[in-house]
Amino acid sequence: MGISEDSFVYALSSNQAWAGYKAHQNPDFFPRLATGQSPEILWLGCSDSRCPETVILGLQPGDVFVHRNIANIISPTDINTSAVIEYAIDQLRVKHVVLCGHSACGGAAAALSDQRIGGVLDTWLTPLKAIRNANKDELMAIRDEKARIVRLAELNVEAGIKVLMANMTIQEAIRDRGLQVHSTLFDIGSGRIRDLGFGTAKGGAKRGSSATNGTDVVRGNHGMLVFRSDGASMHVQ
């Protein structure tokens, strides 16, 4: 049966195969996972189906705490986003907050248009349209539509980082234990993540402990994500 015929049945069948393979590969994987979670990364991203954070980071279930919404908009009045941030930082005590936009973003494309989408989406995308209006001359000077969408996605991440850096929970964690805040953009066409340079690195806020010389490593079963003051890199184990 092809996935196009009945995607849900296919997904359930695929889950059974995946769970069986993981249990065979590592019999302790699921029992250990069931005892609790201790992720080091909070990922704030877009709901786009092409941006599955754990997959593109080369990590595993339990490695990343996640919040995703349309166009990865960070609003200080959104209680959903605020609750995730508070839980991840105060309860799970993550070491990294990663805000990630992406290329070919439908939300960015919609915000660049003057057409109504309808329903709640027009309200949700209002902050992104405000960013467009504030940077209209720069954006309209970009002739290539795909490049214009990417630029708006970058500006959206920059604006989101400003909101995150003003969040009291994040401010306290940066001050008290060196929480790191990262701004990134995922290029769907290449599968690679680019560091945009906003957050604790640019602001000069307190970074990792002196014992690591500003370098932090998040280890998964198949790779490790290395954070440094000049960006992040992925190493396959």
Name beta bridge partners: 225. 218, 234
Q: Is the pLDDT of residue 215 over 90?
A: no
Cα separation, 155 vs 133, in Å, equals: 12
Q: With CA atoms as reference, report the closest residue to 108 among 84, 127, 82, 87.
A: 127
Tell me the pLDDT tens digit for each residue of 144-154. 999 999 999 99
- Per-residue model confidence as pLDDT tens digits over 147-205: 999 999 999 999 999 999 999 999 999 999 999 999 999 999 999 999 999 999 864 33
Pairing of strands 180-187, 96-102: parallel
At 120, the amino acid letter reads: V
The arithmetic mean of pLDDT across residues 3-29, rounded, is 93
pLDDT at 147: 98
Question: What digits encode the pLDDT tens for the residues 27-60?
Answer: 999 999 999 999 999 999 999 999 999 999 999 9
What pLDDT shows up at residue 120? 96
pLDDT band at 230 (very low <50, low <70, confident <90, very high): low
Task: Report the alpha-carbon distance of residue 144 to residue 109 in Å, rounded.
Answer: 12
Helix axes 168-177, 145-165, angle to 10 degrees: 70
Q: What domains, with CATH codes, occur in the chain? A: 36-209 (3.40.1050.10)
> How many CB atoms neighbour CB 18 within 10 A?
10
Distance between CA 148 and CA 135 in Å, rounded?
11
pTM of the entire predicted model: 0.85
Residue 62 has pLDDT above 70, yes or no: yes
Alpha carbons 27 and 198: distance in angstroms, whole number: 41
Helix (H) or strand (E) holding 15: helix 7-25
Percentage of the chain exceeding pLDDT 70: 83
CA dihedral 70, 76, 78, 80 (to 10 degrees): 90
Cα dihedral across residues 218, 93, 33, 35: positive or negative: positive
Per-residue pLDDT, 232: 58
pLDDT of amino acid 214 = 47
Give catalytic residue positions.
Answer: 46, 48, 50, 102, 105
Give the per-residue pLDDT at 201: 80
From the number of C-beta atoms within 10 Å of its C-beta (0-12, 13-18, 19+), residue 59 rates as buried
Q: Is the pLDDT reported for residue 231 higher than 80?
A: no
Average pLDDT in the 126-150 region? 98
- CA-wise closest residue to 202 among 219, 220, 184: 184
Whose tokens are 């969040």? That residue is 167
